[in-house]
Amino acid sequence: MALIVHKYGGTSMGSTERIRNVALRVAKWHRAGHQMVVVPSAMSGETNRLLGLAKELAPTKADTAYDRELDMLAATGEQASSALLAIALQAQGIEAVSYAGWQVPIKTNSAHTKARIESIDDARVRADLDAGRVVIVTGFQGIDPLGNITTLGRGGSDTSAVAVAAALKAAECLIYTDVDGVYTTDPRVVPEARRLLRVSFEEMLEMASMGSKVLQIRSVEFAGKYRVPLRVLSSFTPWDIDLDTEAASGTLITFEEDEDMEQAVVSGIAFNRDEAKIAVLGVPDTPGMAYQILGPVAEANIEVDVIIQNVSKDGKTDFSFTVHRNDYQKALDLLNALVLPILGAAEVVGDTRICKVSIVGIGMRSHVGVASRMFKCLSVEGINIQMISTSEIKTSVVIDEKYMELAVRALHREFDLDQAADSISN
Ligand code: ASP
Ligand code: MG
């Protein structure tokens, strides 16, 4: 018998019929003797619907008073789905109680629409569990020091579930979703992609930050910090499948490298089309140059990813970096207005038709030549690399977006991901 947290995404909670299925599944776990806490998302489409209503009345604006009301509004989606799940469980003859974040309470800071969890009081939930109840806690929300309802950012229920699991020291946090696990890459791009049985927390963090949208990135950070064992699995299996089979399905996000396990050098290929490239040309190569270019960019709250500074020639150099595509125009305008005149640089050029493709794997720590194998593979395909960045367990390249799928497929093959030892077929 263990304390288990289940999290169900919006699709899994999408209709009363699906909520009944969730209730039957949770009841199965409860009857097997586990202490169950469930964290649901709002019914699919509900958060968008609510935020859409607000937009009809007043366009989105950066205003705390407005954001406060968005949180009041959006938090109702999870309140409704949580109550419905409690009702469905009660209909199965199971004692169940639901709590909104503020009732637990889940305490957050005051950053409306993107609040961070600061602490969770586990007393109320524990008392219910000890009394044999299933406890349902709304995802996505909490309460700030002034008693205002806050939300955690889109996809935030994942983070709620992991945080609740951490606070209760749960044995495992199971994230039930509409995909059956974490794949070596997106199966829509590479049909041969395989589900990973296990992936390390660090690899998951790299993949989540690079557009693999299975989990909200903050939930992965949280799981890493508090060492919460996480499992991503399908909510579309029949609710009455064998519990042990279900408990071992999906992808487990682990902390230690399993020594018995043959570790693939590369575990996955991530990619995204969300970035754009900017180059400042003919910059005088003097101390403080990078700061003079990127300082104003950072002050404008624009996140920078890959950065390259070339060797200088005749005292001049080129400086390139990538930003999110949404920030591209803003960054370009800012550089032209503020940076060019001061630096005396020649010009600013940019390109939005790029993409970033990355190989990720903790095996890269102990193997040499992995990056060069990547570059060779891309050269064989005739794909030009525009930028490169590396970390201990990742190598990323920026290439023309029209070659993205070709690159991902070629790399998937190059690193034998179709046949990785640590994976099984669909
Ligand atoms: N309902 C919220 C959203 O749609 C939170 C979540 O589903 O995780 O973003
Ligand atoms: Mg989600």
Ligand 1 in reach of 101 Cβ (< 6 A): no
Instruction: Give the number of the ligand closest to the Cα of residue 156.
Output: 1
Residue 423: per-residue pLDDT: 46
**Best mutation site among 13, 47, 175 for ligand 1, i.e. most ligand atoms within 8 A of its Cβ?**
47
Those residues with Cβ within 8 angstroms of residue 162's Cβ, 6 or more apart along the chain or in another chain: 173, 219, 222, 223, 226, 228, 230
Instruction: List pLDDT tens digits, range 269-324.
Output: 999 998 999 999 999 888 888 999 999 999 988 999 999 988 888 889 999 999 99
Vertex 141 angle, CA 19 and 28, to 5°: 30
Comparing CA positions, the residue from 315, 310, 307 lying closest to residue 286 is 315
Which tens digits make up the pLDDT trace of 2-24? 999 999 999 999 999 999 999 99
**Closest atom of ligand 1 to CA, residue 154:** 9
- Using a 6 Å cutoff on CB, does residue 156 contact ligand 1? yes
**CB within 8 A of 291, min separation 6: which ones?**
none
In ligand 1, the atom with minimum distance to the C-alpha of 156 is 8
Q: How confident is the model at residue 113 (pLDDT cuts 50, 70, 90)?
A: very high
The answer, yes or no, to whether any atom of ligand 1 lies below 6 A from the CB of 176, is no
Atom index in ligand 1 nearest the CA of residue 77 equals 1
Q: Which residues pair with 119 in a beta bridge?
A: 107
What is the reported pTM?
0.86
Q: How do residues 23-43 score in pLDDT, each as one tens digit?
A: 999 999 999 999 999 999 999
Q: Distance, CA 83 to ligand 2 centroid (Å)?
A: 19
Mutate-to-test residue for ligand 1 from 76, 154, 214, 219, highest number of ligand atoms within 8 A of CB: 154
Best mutation site among 41, 49, 152, 177 for ligand 1, i.e. most ligand atoms within 8 A of its Cβ?
A: 41
Report the atom number in ligand 1 closest to the C-alpha of 153: 9
State CA 241 to chain mean position distance. Answer: 28
Indicate if ligand 1 lies below 6 Å from the C-beta of 10.
yes
On whether the CB atoms of residues 36 and 205 are closer than 8 A, the answer is no
CA distance 23 to 83: 12
Handedness of CA 374, 379, 383, 387 (dihedral sign): positive
Q: What average pLDDT does this structure show over 126-132? A: 98
Spatial distance between the Cα atoms of 271 and 395, rounded to a whole number of angstroms: 11
Q: Burial-class residue 148 by CB neighbours within 10 Å (0-12, 13-18, 19+).
A: middle
The CB of 47 under 6 Å from ligand 1? The reply is yes
Reported as a pLDDT band with limits 50, 70 and 90, residue 262 is low
Q: Report the nearest-CA residue for atom 6 of ligand 1.
A: 155
Q: Is the pLDDT of residue 261 over 60?
A: no
> If we measure between CA atoms, which residue out of 238, 383, 387, 366 comes closest to residue 308?
387
- pLDDT, greater one: 167 or 344: 167
What residues have CB less than 8 Å from 160, skipping those under 6 apart? 7, 39, 101, 106, 117, 137, 138, 139, 140, 141, 142, 152
Mean pLDDT, the chain, rounded, equals 92
Atom of ligand 1 nearest to the CA of 9: 7
Element (H, E) at 196: strand 195-196
Looking at all shown ligands, the one closest to residue 177's CA atom is 2
Ligand 1 within 6 A of 155 CB? yes
Using the mean position of ligand 1's atoms as its centre, give its distance from the Cα of residue 253 in Å.
21
Contact 306, 398 (CB under 8 A): yes
Size of the chain, expressed as the number of residues it contains? 426
What's the whole-number mean pLDDT along residues 367-395?
Answer: 95
Percent of the chain as helix, strand, coil, to the nearest 5: 40, 25, 35
For the segment 216-257, what is each residue's pLDDT rounded down to a tens digit?
888 999 999 999 999 999 999 999 999 999 999 999 998 866
When pLDDT is averaged across residues 384-406 and rounded to a whole number, the result is 95
Max CA separation in the chain (angstroms): 80
Of the candidates 167, 252, 261, 249, the one whose C-alpha atom is nearest the C-alpha of residue 203 is 252
Q: Using CA atoms, how far apart are residues 153 and 111, in angstroms rounded to an integer?
A: 10
Give the integer Cα–Cα distance in Å for 240 and 28. Answer: 7
